[in-house]
Structure 1
Amino acid sequence: METIMVVEDDVMLNNGICFNLQSEGFQVIPTYNLKEAKEKFKTEKINLIILDVNLPDGSGFEFCKDIRNDSKIGILFLTACDMESDIINGFKIGADDYITKPFSINILMQRIKALLRRCGSDIQENILIEGDFEFNFDKMTVSRNNESIVFSPIEYKILKQLVQHKNEIVTRQALIDAIWDSDSEYMEEHALTVNINRLRKRIDQKTSKHKYIRTVYGIGYMWAGEQDEK
């Protein structure tokens, strides 16, 4: 199933586009500003982006340029910017299609399907670079300074939850639920603690400068990334 990210600050329009995409069998990721879109682009496997130009925190044109630095995934501009110069600029910086508002939802759906057929082989690989670490969520691999680190399946799933929510507290129950849902196995509190400790040893074994996995006492854990331990 292809995943499409919709970057549109008009909530009703965003909801309408997502509803129609879901009706056509696509998985959707709605975002409403560039900050959200950039975070999702880093952590999710995306096949196509529907992108507005005028967003509350910046320009869709600039985001398109950033994407094109290292990705060939499909980009479709859907915007009120209908000047010929805007359309030409959109294609010059890497857009695969450009639709101006107002638009026909049926035509939009057909253009999306056509674009996915053309870009079918150019799917974004789900890789996240975090300091010295490279996480490949498609292949379930982790490396540090190009050296592979081997984790058990449960350790990997815990790590994935923490990394994808960097600087956010992930509760113990949320981690247990994530592992239980994916493994269909019950995990008790003690087992979670044991796996967190093992994970820390593998992650922190070559450094004393950083503590990547922080404990938030009484609540859960947080991936702190490349922050000096205080």
Structure 2
Amino acid sequence: MQCESVSDGKAALEQEKVDLILLDINLPDGNGMDWLAEIRQRSALPVILISANNMEMDIVTGLQLGANDYITKPFSLMVLRARIEVQFRETEAESPEIFQTDYYYFDFRKMDFRVDESPVELSRTEQRLLRKLVENPGAVLTREILTDEIALRRL
């Protein structure tokens, strides 16, 4: 999906499952770095900053704010694709996409959820909460942590 502004991007995050954000720094209704700071308060979603500005300080600032990568314009689509693939490789290594026990089967990539082999329909919010719980087995997750996971949809 493609968004042309910060407000479009925030709306898209509420509506869609997003795996990675390519974020231009100069957007018509805001600064990409400011929005990156908002995203990082709530999520570890991979973000690659894109900018025509190749000033060293801006690159360092973007990375310090939490960007996973920074690419300057103009860029080759082959290079962009390779950088995106690196992010997916790192994300997949950190977070298994399938969780399975004798009774439960959750495939987060396909959004296939089953309990005792029967399909279960989950809302986006329920999917996010389930994933958070599965990724933190045995951990006590506070109301604040779970609320933050839900609030990510409102960025």
TM-score computed with the length of structure 2 as normaliser: 0.61
Q: Secondary structure at the match of 1:45?
A: coil
Q: Which has the larger radius of gyration?
A: 1
Question: Counterpart in 2 of 1:46?
Answer: 18
Question: Counterpart in 1 of 2:29?
Answer: 57
Matched, 1:114 2:114: no
Question: Counterpart in 1 of 2:56?
Answer: 84
Name the aligned partner's letter for residue 40 of structure 1.
A
Contact 1:64–1:95 at 8 Å: present in 2 too? Answer: yes
Matched, 1:137 2:121: no
- CA distance 1:47–1:107, change in 2 (3 Å): same
Q: CA deviation at 1:45?
A: 0.9
Deviations 1:152-181 (A, max 9, x none): xxxxxxxxxxxxxxxxxxxxxxxxxxxxxx
Name the aligned partner's letter for residue 86 of structure 1.
D
Structure 2: unaligned runs, 5 residues or longer: 97-107, 109-121, 129-155
Alpha-carbon distance between aligned partners in 2 of 1:136 and 1:60, rounded to the nearest angstrom = 29
Once superposed, what is the RMSD of the aligned Cα atoms?
2.3
Identity %: 35
Question: Counterpart in 2 of 1:70?
Answer: 42
Name the aligned partner's letter for residue 53 of structure 1.
I
Structure 2 matches for 1:72-221, cutoff 5 A?
72-120=44-92, 121=94, 136-137=123-124, 139=126
Name the aligned partner's letter for residue 71 of structure 2.
I
Alpha-carbon distance between aligned partners in 2 of 1:122 and 1:72, rounded to the nearest angstrom = 11
TM-score computed with the length of structure 1 as normaliser: 0.42
Contact 1:72–1:122 at 8 Å: present in 2 too? Answer: no
Q: CA deviation at 1:44?
A: 1.3
Structure 1: unaligned runs, 5 residues or longer: 1-28, 126-134, 142-230
Contact 1:73–1:122 at 8 Å: present in 2 too? Answer: no
